[in-house]
Structure 1
Amino acid sequence: MTSEENSRILLLGATGYTGGLVLAALLRRGARPVLAGRNAAALAALAGRHGGLDHVVVDATRPASLRRHLRRGDVLVTTVGPFERLGYPVAEAAAEAGAHYIDSTGEVGFVRAVHDRYDERARETGAVMLPAFGYDYVPGILAGTLAARQAGAAVRALDIGYFATGPLWRGISQGTRTTMRDGLTLPSPTWRGHRLVEERTASRVHTFSLGGRRKSAFLVSGTEVLFLPSDFPALADITVYNGWFPTLSRPLTLISSAVNTLTGLPGGHRLADALTFPLTLGPAGGPDATERARTRSYVVAVASTGAPGGAPLAEVHLEGPSAYSLTGELMAWAAESLVGRSKGAAGVVGPVEAFGLETLQAACAEMGLAAV
């Protein structure tokens, strides 16, 4: 047998919401992943519902427990977060085993740490490591790459905005709402003056033009600031914004300022939690297929010279399925593409370096994420 025929996809977190979407996408592609997790009964039941998939019980907090089930050329897909708390042993196991790695994190600090800790080892073992390979942040990296290429040698700055359409508050998961609330107290890395700088989340608001309408978005973190500078050395500034709720962008700058002030005071965390609690209100779990069909993702990248008031050099607008549906499809496609792979880029890399721009763009278009 070839190495590809021997290699497997291991899915960690299949019993959860995002993991279930990845599993469904893998099955639609004809893949038969091995389900991994700590709950033997839940794994067995899920495996049985899908024609008797193989499944293994692992302790994701212990790299040795995972490594027993990993071989070089395997693909380890994980949706188990929060990644700052639970993700490092999983990434370590993949890097040591030479198994390719894909995760669904939106935590940019975690991605930076994964690179610092495991990039060198992954290059030695031939592992391709793709953190944050979902709606966070593949669409922005794709749009930013296309915009920077269109802008040419004059490009110095990229502003990237994430938007959505439809009844969004009911169309996002409880986990996303909680992550958004918690993110207000975490710094957002930006690429400023050719170096990484941490700014207060929601400390700035930027306005984008979408379909002839102006929509506001607030400053957030994104792995665009980690992966795009190496592809475009002339870029001095890269900033990522979230415009899911345009009318809340400016109020959130005030809330962010208040929350960050409170957390620096004795007992301030409790007050900050109370102030931001309304942001977590909404349906439990995640949106079902009907709700996901009612929302669309939209990402825009604007390339410019960086001069105040200057006209854009290029703009790229991408529209696609719900953020959750898109994440499931992206992770499944990447897993299927990497299984058994022994050549090409290795280490902690971005989506363009891993697959090439044309391949990535074509795959996204097949998923419904395309230029508008």
Structure 2
Amino acid sequence: MTSSSLGPVVVYGAYGHTGRFVVDELLRRGLTPILSGRDERRLEAMLDGRPDLEIRPAPVDDSDALRAAMAGAVAVINVAGPFLDTGVMVSEAAVAAGAHYLDVTAEQPAVEAVYAARAGDAEQMGVAVIPAMAFYGGLADLLATAALKGGVVERETEPVTLSVAIGLDRWWPTAGTRLTGTRNTAPRRTIVDGRLAPLPDSVPRDTWHFAEGWFEQAVVAVPFSEPVLIARHLPVDRLYSYLSASALSDIRDPATPPPPASDDRGRSSQQFVVDVVAQVGTQTHRIAASGRDIYAATAPLIVEATARLLDGRATRTGVVAPGEAFDAEDFLRALTPDVLTLRRDVRSARPPAAAARA
């Protein structure tokens, strides 16, 4: 069976910065995208150079229009933030159409809202619902799953401390990222004693010794959507999540421009690394993934997940985290070396003092 014979994939928010990368990646993989979103004029503009594609505009607050837009689709990829406003509605329409649902949210409350809303109907329809299948959230969850060898660690016998550090040489935020930041005002949470718990009022700062080529950077405790994913299926007692302090300064500065294209694929020159260290009893397991452009890298992540859902390589249906749905090791290998460079047991690096003390 060819990719194109599997059926169309609706991309909701197709005209956005990340949405365009997703559409291009679907076409590269031989899948047929249907362009959808709230703005009909922007959808029509996308047909320039893509005259064979179909557009299906649908307001996010119109359930009938959303269901019509998803009709006949085998999967729906939602890249229209803020996901606190779109996740539940678009996932409902996708599941009603019998389509898998994936999105790229970094917002913890948006993940939890989709999990709660789709807990019953997704399993009944035999489809998967995977929020945060993106650079933020999904990649860390896959790396953590790989580091813990599929979550086989027994909580009762081996305490697990997990540290996730995201290093960015700079962060050029998109308009959607800025809009999401103003919409998402909920307190951030992490994992403490095996449960989701609020971050301390005083946000911890530390120093992280990154993998080869990144050296040492100042970092700030900033959990994205990964605690909600990890808490769902991995036996983690304590989670530390960090982001480069310089990247946080970039996104907080209103003068920071959007991502500038620096190649013929539209990618920026931004470099990233996601470093995961799992302390399991007295043993340390480490894996790091590096690459280029967090928005561009999200497209092959979510399209790889979509392809695996459609060709039967997913292990679960219902609401699931990426590490629950897929073989994490195999998934990550499929993205190397074109999207990710993987490193394991980087001897020159060590977790920050807070995680080491834990």
CA distance in 2, matches of 1:74, 1:201: 44
- Kept in 2: contact 1:143–1:317 (CA 8 A): yes
**Which residue in the other structure is 2:230 paired with?**
228
- Kept in 2: contact 1:204–1:219 (CA 8 A): yes
- Kept in 2: contact 1:73–1:341 (CA 8 A): no
**Which residue in the other structure is 1:282 paired with?**
256
Q: 1:138 to 1:38 in 2, by over 3 A?
A: closer
CA distance in 1, matches of 2:233, 2:109: 21
Aligned residue for 1:105, secondary structure, equals coil
Q: 1:341 to 1:277 in 2, by over 3 A?
A: closer
- Kept in 2: contact 1:181–1:279 (CA 8 A): no
**Which residue in the other structure is 1:214 paired with?**
216
CA distance in 1, matches of 2:148, 2:320: 19
Deviations 1:305-328 (A, max 9, x none): 58xxxx871222211221011012
Return the offset for 1:342: 10
Deviations 1:217-248 (A, max 9, x none): 21223333223345433x211222212527x7
Q: 1:83 to 1:182 in 2, by over 3 A?
A: closer
Deviations 1:13-70 (A, max 9, x none): 1111111111121122222211112433432331242132112222222222121243
Return the offset for 1:193: 0.7
Q: Which amino acid aligns with 1:303?
A: A
CA distance in 1, matches of 2:243, 2:64: 38
**Which residue in the other structure is 1:106 paired with?**
106
Q: Which amino acid aligns with 2:255?
A: L
Q: Which amino acid aligns with 2:297?
A: L
Return the offset for 1:74: 1.2
- Kept in 1: contact 2:146–2:329 (CA 8 A): no
**Which residue in the other structure is 1:362 paired with?**
333
- Asked if 1:240 corresponds to 2:241, the answer is yes
TM-score by length of 2: 0.82
Q: Which amino acid aligns with 1:219?
A: A
CA distance in 2, matches of 1:366, 1:201: 40
Trace 1:1-372 onto structure 2 (pairs within 5 A).
Answer: 5=5, 7-71=7-71, 74-149=74-149, 154-165=158-169, 168-169=170-171, 171-177=172-178, 179=180, 185-200=185-200, 203-211=203-211, 213-233=215-235, 235-243=236-244, 245=246, 279-283=253-257, 285-290=258-263, 292-304=267-279, 313-339=284-310, 344-372=315-343
Q: Which amino acid aligns with 2:239?
A: I
Return the offset for 1:175: 3.6
Gaps of 5+ in 2: 344-358
Aligned residue for 2:260, secondary structure, equals coil
CA distance in 1, matches of 2:126, 2:197: 31
Return the offset for 1:103: 1.0
Q: Which amino acid aligns with 1:196?
A: L
Return the offset for 1:303: 1.5
- Return the index of the structure with the highest Cα Rg: 1
Aligned residue for 1:15, secondary structure, equals coil
Q: 1:243 to 1:197 in 2, by over 3 A?
A: same
Return the offset for 1:277: 9.8
Deviations 1:130-171 (A, max 9, x none): 111111122211222233339966351101011123xx24x4
CA distance in 2, matches of 1:146, 1:6: 29
| Paired residues, number | 335
**Which residue in the other structure is 1:255 paired with?**
none
TM-score by length of 1: 0.79
CA distance in 2, matches of 1:242, 1:304: 19
Gaps of 5+ in 1: 253-275
Aligned residue for 1:303, secondary structure, equals strand
Structure having the higher helix fraction is 1
Identity of aligned residues (%): 27
Structure scoring higher RCO (CA < 8 A, sep ≥ 6) equals 1
**Which residue in the other structure is 2:353 paired with?**
none
Aligned residue for 2:208, secondary structure, equals strand
**Which residue in the other structure is 1:273 paired with?**
none
